[in-house]
A and B are shown apart, each in its own frame.
Chain A
Amino acid sequence: MTVRAVLVGLLLMLAASMPAGAQIDYQRPVDVAPTEKSIGGGYQVPVVQRRPPRSYALEIIDVGVLTAGLAATAWTLLVWRNRLATLAVSIVMLAYLGFYREGCVCPIGSIQNVAVALVDPNYSISYVVIAIFLLPLIASLFVGRVFCGGVCALGALQDLVLVRPGAVPPKLDRALGWLRYVYLVLAVILAVLPAANRDFIICRFDPFVGFFRRTGMIEILSFGAALLLLGLFIGRPYCRFLCPYGGLLALLARLTWRGVVPIPIRGQEGGLCPESCPYGAIDGIRVDQGECVSCARCYQACPREARQTRGPTLVKLTKMVGGGKR
């Protein structure tokens, strides 16, 4: 009935805009679609052009890759104590989670989904997202921010461009570090708004996802490029000053069970060189576990470390990729 009313209205509108006689008098010729039989001539209805969504199994594999990355980083960082190996893990993760998966799904953005899921009774998230949100946080309680150092594609990208690490004055460093929490609170507030006004700003202003997808808004791509340029001289500006998930990880990593520590030598006090850390995470000679992003540069710069662990340390190559002492 309503359909007919709309049809009449449509025809009236067509008639109204008609420049006399120049137009066909359109009317739908059929009420039902013809079948193969009624069409005849051996006609076969073609397959509809649809593509199935990415299979759930593959999404579970993503979680597996993330878990393996966390475990591998924990091992290269805390057991092998090797910068190159840690870097290698992070490059593999950059290739998979960054360039292959094109930046989504990621724990940083999952903050917003979790926030909405906790507040909105009608909103639910998949097991995959829950796992991706929780796994790095749990890891950080036990082995520190291994996610930042070895798994996060955004972190790996910034770690790779760091060629001439310069120091940020500690007071400024600490002050800028609060920005992460401002961003976190803002992101959560905007995410838990009623569905119509909801906005996921972490994803909207993600500076590097455009590089992974090789397309994006020019403003965001420029922001990312600017951060990478700054990142040539200042270690991981996004991670340290903006990343809301980094902020969460930092809070938990303070309580970490194991973390980056110097090799103990009996009867000697020892520490790590503050200059070897491009992220300002070595305070005096002790590592600030909250701010350590698990890059393992300090081991590489430590002469005592080199004596103790005679692993395949290719010093020249690591200098090329921005490791080592300045």
Chain B
Amino acid sequence: MFKDRKAWFSQSVPRRFCDMWMSEGGIITDWTTADYIFSKDASHPDTHRLYESLDYSKNRLTVFHASYLSACEKNRNKVAVSVGHFVLPPSSVQKEVKAAVGSFIWEKEDNQSTKQL
């Protein structure tokens, strides 16, 4: 599924997502060379640092929420999950977006998975 794709994972992402990425043929690398950047917590220092980078402010970096990967897991063989709905912006941006158009898709995912547990 992720053959030869380079990803970086924040420390906030559970280990099993990194394992899943690799088992699907993906490669794990540092954030400067990764094509996919995953985090679960915008305020984690390793993720917050990215929002202050020039790459981010010059529109060359988007952080995706790691629950995209669990959505992929669940939807296997079904219609592809849209990664564009799993953008994880800085906390202050999250607040603005939530106030205007409601919760993020990954908040629902998070709730579902906690309910399942």
A binds B: no
